[in-house]
Chain A
Amino acid sequence: MIRKFLMYTLLILSALVLFFPILYAISASFMQPKEIYAGELFPSSISFDAYKEVFDSIPLLHYLMVSFIMSFMVMVGQLVISSLSAFAFSFIKFKGRDLIFFLFLSTMLIPWEATIIPNFLTILNLSWINTYQGLSFPFFALPFGIFLLRQHFLTIPQELWESAQMDGCSRFKFLIRFVIPLSKSSLSALGIYGFLTTWNQYLWPLLVTNDDTVRTVQIGLKMLIANESSSSWNMVMAAVVAILLPTLLLLFFGIKHIREGLTAGALKG
């Protein structure tokens, strides 16, 4: 009994501390500027003025849309390319396969930031500044994704492929009909991973976007902070809450799957 009580106390305390920044952001987004100055913890009354103001002054929904499209593109790109490559590495036994696989694997050691200067110049020379392809293409090939899927594909018995072959099934059909459906959990984990990391991108969108057409929420928020005077923190917090809402909701609904997928990745990776 005492132990249970202790556990709950610890749980509640940790939850409060951990969730405090988000709670406070929500609280501040409902405040009046005067209450912000006074350093209040709670607003005296709920006011949606800050939300109205922020949606009027910056195209926040548009930013969200851009982030969604970009993250979605990267997610799909990574899934397709990783599946194709992982399939080659697990079901096509060609000469030099292990060497190429090792080469791919070793690129996991290259931090993306180390290549950012030439990548920027590439995008600039292709005139891909302010475009979705400029934002997303550099992230389509993900060695980690190839590795993760290959690990899973290898658990699919080769006999399955042999018998499918006897039924006149082509390689590509086999990939679509059997391998993909059998690897749903890994694909989901990879998809979520790709989506969230892209959603989180900061440096790259900062470099390759110059106007609102393809500005992501992250950069939009940075511009908002730079643009607003110190009196508008309630507005900035309203923007933060609006940006957090979609991802937090996704997380709350999808937490179980994310956990399963990521754990699988961690254990096999």
Chain B
Amino acid sequence: MQGGKARKVRKSGYHNQKKLFGIGMLYLLPAFVFLGVFLFYPMFKTLYFSFFEVGGNGQVGEFVGWDHYIELTKSEEFRKSMKGTFLFVLYTVPAEIIIAFFLAVLASEKLKGIGFFRTIFASTMGVSVAAGATIFLFLFHPSLGVLNNILGMFGIDGVEWLTSSDWALFSVAMTTVWMHLGINFIILLGGIQNVPDELYESADMDGAGYWSKLFKITIPLTSPVIFFVTIIALIGAFQTFGQIDILTSGGPAGATNIIVYSIYQEAFQYGNFGFASAQAIILFLIILVVTIIQFKYGEKKVHYQ
């Protein structure tokens, strides 16, 4: 802020300060109200619930201390759920970013009709969770599904996409990757197009090949965007729910019961609000830690222009 202005504010004295504070608060009031009611309050309430037995209608029962958390560490279901969650992140996040980046590099070529391809590549952004999952539910169908028919044409045995616990998580991940490609593609394409042309031109003069340009110019210079997309993809992966509900309902044998679905099931199907709240707190902590790690180690590797 400029020196002139700062002096003016200081000069205006105490009364003005107070008035400014009032005005500031007035502008922030709507945000405070909504954040307070729908974010701050429920966050503390969740923490509070996690130490109590809470019934289906929100009646708070007896205080149980750390019991819910201790139970979580012992529960085989929860361990399975956590394993599933991390596997899911592993299946989706790298694939989403690598494929989207590949598409973005392709679509950044200056070719005739490239606009058409860009639109197609971005199209899954217009596909909602329910619609996308429903299409894949049909594609995966054990007897009518066209994916197995196509595999059959190549003489490959049908895959039990959603009915085998070895495959189900992968199938849900595949659906998720497909649905997220659109938005990741758009953001990455924007990043690639922001790289100044002069850099490529001078690289051409140095006789650099396609690959060396890709690895020496494109990837380093788009790293802030890749970083941004990674964070969004990571957080999104931890919050997956709709696909699971439509495709597998957490099954088979709990293979796709990843954390948000597990919270939903515990709270709204079994009515254990307290126990579910403890899981919600775990979810919060995981996202917190993952984000901190990201910023701590990820940001160092990022080149800002």
Contact = CB atoms under 8 A, between A and B. Distances in A.
Whether the complex brings A and B within 8 Å at their CB atoms is answered: yes
A21 B117 contact: no
B139 interface: yes
A22 B181 CA distance: 14
Contacts of A119: 38, 42
B17 A94 contact: yes
B21 A95 contact: yes
Contacts of B214: none
Contacts of B212: none
B239 A117 contact: no
A221 B46 contact: no
B121 A14 contact: yes
B187 A7 contact: no
B295 to A, nearest CB: 11
A119 B37 CA distance: 8
A89 B86 CA distance: 37
Interface in A94-108: 94-97, 100, 104, 107
A171 interface: yes
A259 B126 contact: no
Contacts of B121: 14-15, 18
B283 interface: yes
Q: Is the interface of B mostly helix, strand, loop or mixed?
A: helix
Nearest to A80: B30
B207 interface: no
A111 B123 contact: no
B131 A221 contact: yes
Interface in A218-255: 218-219, 221-222, 225, 230, 233, 236-237, 240, 243-244, 247-248, 250-252, 255
Contact of B291 (A19, A28, A109, A252): A109
* Interface range for B: 35 or more
A15 to B, nearest CB: 5
Contact of B287 (A80, A109, A117, A146): A109
A165 to B, nearest CB: 11
Given A14-B103, A244-B126, A255-B118, A266 B24 contact: no
Given A118-B45, A158-B1, A203 B187 contact: no
Contacts of B21: 94-96
B129 A111 contact: no
Given A18-B120, A118-B45, A240 B20 contact: no
Contact of A263 (B46, B118, B191, B276): B191
A178 interface: no
B75 interface: no
B246 interface: yes
A84 to B, nearest CB: 5
Contacts of A240: 131, 134-135
Nearest to B279: A114
B168 interface: no
A244 B131 contact: yes
A112 B40 CA distance: 11
A98 B20 CA distance: 14
20 contacts: A11-B117, A18-B178, A21-B136, A39-B144, A93-B20, A115-B45, A116-B263, A117-B273, A117-B280, A119-B38, A120-B268, A140-B30, A140-B34, A200-B242, A206-B245, A218-B128, A259-B186, A263-B193, A267-B191, A267-B225
